[in-house]
Amino acid sequence: MKKTLLSTALLIAVCVSANAQFSLGIKGGVNFSNISANDVSSSTVTGYQAGAFARIGKSWYLQPELYVNGTGGQFSSASGTGKVTFTNINFPVLLGKSFGTKDLNFRLLAGPVLVDVMSRNESFSDGFNTTFKDFNLYKPHNYGFQAGAGIDFGSITADLRYQGGLDKINPKYGQVQNIWALSVGYKIL
């Protein structure tokens, strides 16, 4: 993680010194996450996100981000119910295309995301735990993709994105996390 942060900082420094189009900002928003799993029904958990982004380029741009988010899922079966929530650090690196002017800009963006689980909170009924042993053996890291659209009004930015899991957060039960995220940001630079 330290190498990734150092590489990102170096890339930003090179782009700024080369007079490339560059912006840096903060963002926050709401997530609607779901964990699909074999043999159980699942439902959405509402969470949050807060962090920073950099945008390097003009018409085509690279947008690395670093933010904390809250995600999770609720489960039910004939044997009981359960809920798990995660606090994660996300590091997406997105490639985007801009359409419009500096004051009103529409964007499309997509790219990979690395998710590092910082903590989790879970509660499962006794019947659920008995039927689905090891249901809560979650991986500490996972990978996914993000794709979405955004709009900029001067220094204000808003994004709507979908995040899909590329690997299973618990392979035994086929659990994959999917997220819809709506965020608002402010470009500081």
Predicted local distance difference test score (pLDDT) of residue 134 = 85
Give the distance between the most distant pair of CA atoms in the chain.
Answer: 61
**In the chain, which residues have pLDDT < 70?**
1-20
pLDDT tens digits for range 61-74: 999 999 999 999 99
pTM (predicted TM-score): 0.86
| DSSP-derived pairing of the beta strands 45-57 and 80-100 | unpaired
pLDDT on residue 129: 86
**Which amino acid is present at 116?**
D
**DSSP 3-state of 24:** strand
List the domains of the chain with CATH numbers.
22-187 (2.40.160.20)
Residue 37's SS3 state is coil
Amino acid at position 37, single letter: A
